[in-house]
Amino acid sequence: MGEGSMSKFRTQIAAITEALAQDLASGRSERLIAVLRGTMRWRKYSLNNRLLIVMAAPQATLILPRTQWEELGRTIRPGAAGIEIYAPRTGRKRAEEEGTPAEDRTPLFFVPVKVYDIAETEGDALPTPGMTRGGDEALIEEVQHAAPFDVQWSPDVASATLSAGVLRIPSGTATAGGDVQQMLYGWAQHALAEGHPNAQTDPDVRRTEALLGAMMVCAVLNIDALEVTSDRLVAHWGGKPKKLGNAMKRAQESAEAILKVLRPDLVSSELPASPEAAQPGPSCSPSTVPPRHPTPLPLPPAAAFHTTPAGSHSWPRP
Q: Is residue 318 part of a domain?
A: no
| CA angle in degrees (0–180, nearest 5) for 152-37-190 | 30
Q: Quick one: 197 exposed, middle or buried, by C-beta within 10 A (0-12, 13-18, 19+)?
A: exposed
Between CA 35 and CA 130 the distance in angstroms is 21
CA distances from 225 to 15, 175, 214, 216 (A): 28, 12, 7, 8
Q: Is residue 311 part of a domain?
A: no
188 is in which domain, residue-wise?
136-264
Do both 161 and 241 map to the same domain?
yes
Do both 124 and 161 map to the same domain?
no
* pTM of the predicted protein model: 0.71
Q: Which of 92, 44, 84 is nearest to 66 (CA)?
A: 84
Q: Is residue 316 part of a domain?
A: no
Q: Is residue 314 part of a domain?
A: no
- Give kind and range of the element (H or E) at residue 88: strand 83-89
Do both 8 and 59 map to the same domain?
yes
Do both 10 and 109 map to the same domain?
yes
Per-residue pLDDT of the chain (318 residues; tens, 9 = 90+): 455 666 788 888 899 999 999 999 999 998 899 888 888 877 888 888 888 988 888 888 788 899 999 998 999 999 999 999 988 776 665 555 555 565 555 656 778 899 999 999 999 887 654 444 444 678 888 999 999 999 998 888 888 888 888 999 888 655 545 888 889 999 999 988 855 566 667 888 999 999 999 999 988 888 888 888 889 899 999 999 999 999 999 999 999 999 999 888 765 444 433 222 222 233 333 333 333 333 333 445 544 443 333 333 332 222
Do both 7 and 121 map to the same domain?
yes
Do both 18 and 124 map to the same domain?
yes
The rounded Cα 41 to chain-centroid distance in angstroms is 6
Do both 81 and 96 map to the same domain?
yes
Q: Is residue 313 part of a domain?
A: no
Q: Is residue 270 part of a domain?
A: no
Q: Is residue 121 part of a domain?
A: yes
Domain count, the chain: 2
Between CA 101 and CA 271 the distance in angstroms is 27
Do both 143 and 224 map to the same domain?
yes
Do both 253 and 283 map to the same domain?
no
